[in-house]
Chain A
Amino acid sequence: MIQTIRLGHLLREAVTTPYRNLVTRPTGAAVRGRIERALAESGCRTALLDFSDVDLLDLSCADEIVAKLLLVSAPCPDRYVVLWGLRDDQVEAIDHVLSHQHLAVAALAAEAAVLDVLGAVDGDARAAFGCVAERGPVSAGAVAEALAWAEARARAALDLLAARRLVRVAGGAFHPLLVA
């Protein structure tokens, strides 16, 4: 089950501003609080955070919303977060704050067809993530073959992605996170 959360909508609830800018830490904290409540009420495993009706996202707000949401949801192994509808500047802001905190999240940029990973992941994990995102559910062996790696290397990269909840493991295969 996926729950889509429109950040622009939460922003309008959180602050009395006519603008669509996610700026300042207090705003970020208020929006994150609403996201956490929505997730707690829905019981969905995947939260799709929709940024498509947000204009500016500054670093402070990106940290309060995305980085802290990943940190607070870390104890929930079945909870996945995917960002959706991001513009280039928003991708950059989120990538910056997540890298700073050694965190990572799956994201689908506004013009993109497949998921990407933002934040701190090493080259192997990034390549394995791309393979899973493009091919759908795959085994470690299939990823190893596609990337011309030893299977142990592919498995290590995929296990890391699974531990960080960037891919889902089911039936012995690694699945890309669902966005629809």
Chain B
Amino acid sequence: MTRIVEIPTSFDDRAMDHYAAAFGGWPAGERLLFDARGTTWVSPYGFVAMLTAAQAVAEARGERPILYLPASEDVRRYWARAGFLRHAAELFEVHGKVPRAPSGSSDTLLEVTPVRGSDDVHDVVGRVQEGASRILLEVGLEAKATIGFTMALSEACQNIVEHAGTTGWVAVQAYDWRRRLGTRVVVIAVSDSGIGFRRSLEPTQARRFGDRWSDATALEAAWIQNVSRFRDPGRGQGLAGIKRYLGRWDGKITIRSGTARLANVPAWDREDVPMTEQLPFFPGAQVQVILPALAPK
């Protein structure tokens, strides 16, 4: 039996719950077929979420999922440019014409990149610093914001290494949100198929919350109280640093783990809510950071 996971036509964080619901349950009992033939656009968040699902299947020793590539050649080329297809080939049985990977688009600050250990974090930070400073300044970020952005990226990637217990993925892209927000934005998407916030914090925090312990309370404990699974008092500062940075530059973060999603909602976003529970389960943790280039109108 094969279970079809239809990739949303436009796959970004807002389509994530629809995508997560398509899996039914975890671990998947059937072979999965990711059908992206009708997909026309995927954000960094969508790319890393697809790889995360396939990674979770591989770790559960499930059968290699099938991926039907988008029907549109332009979309396939974009997928190649974004670095997604190179990594998809390792995790999926790919069906469809795979274009040769041209060099990254001018708005790609960081192609889809695996994060397996601290060396990868060094590489990610170095590459973004090296190649992206110019783009970030073009986008309109101040130099100081660019430094903070790289620091936030480093801390977000380290969460995979320190807490997930498995491989994760990161991608960074700049977008023109003039119609939506009146400015350009830079988006970091980080995802892993690891143990998630609840299991990571359970040994040290669950007793404190008692019956209230859940994916949502685990996210709150990490984000609001800066708790960590480590007893070292210096821990838990990565998210605190990201929070401070986003507060200063009017950025937004969403963290989805298991069945809950936390968001710090800046004034420019009137649609989102701070906490959503009872979502369709998805493995690991997915983090998205959105940074407006200029103060949104």
A residues near B (Cβ < 8 Å) are 15-19, 21, 23-27, 55-56, 58-60, 63-64, 67-68, 88-89, 93, 96-97, 100-101
Given contacts A23-B158, A26-B118, A27-B122, 5 further A-B contacts (CB under 8 A): A23-B154, A24-B158, A60-B154, A89-B148, A101-B234
Question: Measured between alpha carbons, how far is A100 from B227 in the docked complex, in Å?
Answer: 12
Kindly supply a per-residue 1/0 record for chain B positions 234-277, scoring 1 wherever the CB is within 8 Å of any chain A CB and 0 otherwise. 11011011001000000000000000000000000000000000
Q: Does B155 contact A (CB under 8 A)?
A: yes
| Interface pair A18/B126, CB less than 8 Å apart | yes
> Can you pick out 9 interface pairs between chain A and chain B where the beta carbons lie within 8 Å of each other?
A21-B154, A24-B121, A26-B118, A56-B150, A58-B125, A59-B155, A88-B144, A89-B144, A89-B147
| Interface pair A60/B125, CB less than 8 Å apart | no
B residues near A (Cβ < 8 Å) are 118-119, 121-123, 125-126, 129-130, 144, 147-148, 150-151, 154-155, 158, 161-162, 233-235, 237-238, 240-241, 244
Chain A residue nearest to B161 in the complex (CB): A24
Question: Measured between alpha carbons, how far is A83 from B125 in the docked complex, in Å?
Answer: 24
A residues in contact with B122, CB < 8 Å = 15, 17, 19, 21, 23-24, 27
A144 to nearest B CB, angstroms? 35
| Interface pair B234/A68, CB less than 8 Å apart | yes
A85 to nearest B CB, angstroms? 16
Q: A-B pairs with the 8 shortest C-beta distances? A: A19-B126, A24-B118, A63-B234, A59-B241, A58-B154, A17-B122, A26-B118, A23-B154
Chain B residue nearest to A18 in the complex (CB): B126
Question: Measured between alpha carbons, how far is A64 from B241 in the docked complex, in Å?
Answer: 15
Question: Measured between alpha carbons, how far is A25 from B234 in the docked complex, in Å?
Answer: 11
B61 to nearest A CB, angstroms? 29
Of B119, B162, B244, which one neighbours A96 at CB under 8 angstroms? B244
Question: Measured between alpha carbons, how far is A97 from B150 in the docked complex, in Å?
Answer: 18
B residues in contact with A101, CB < 8 Å = 233-234
CB contact under 8 A between A60 and B233, given known A24-B122, A96-B241: no
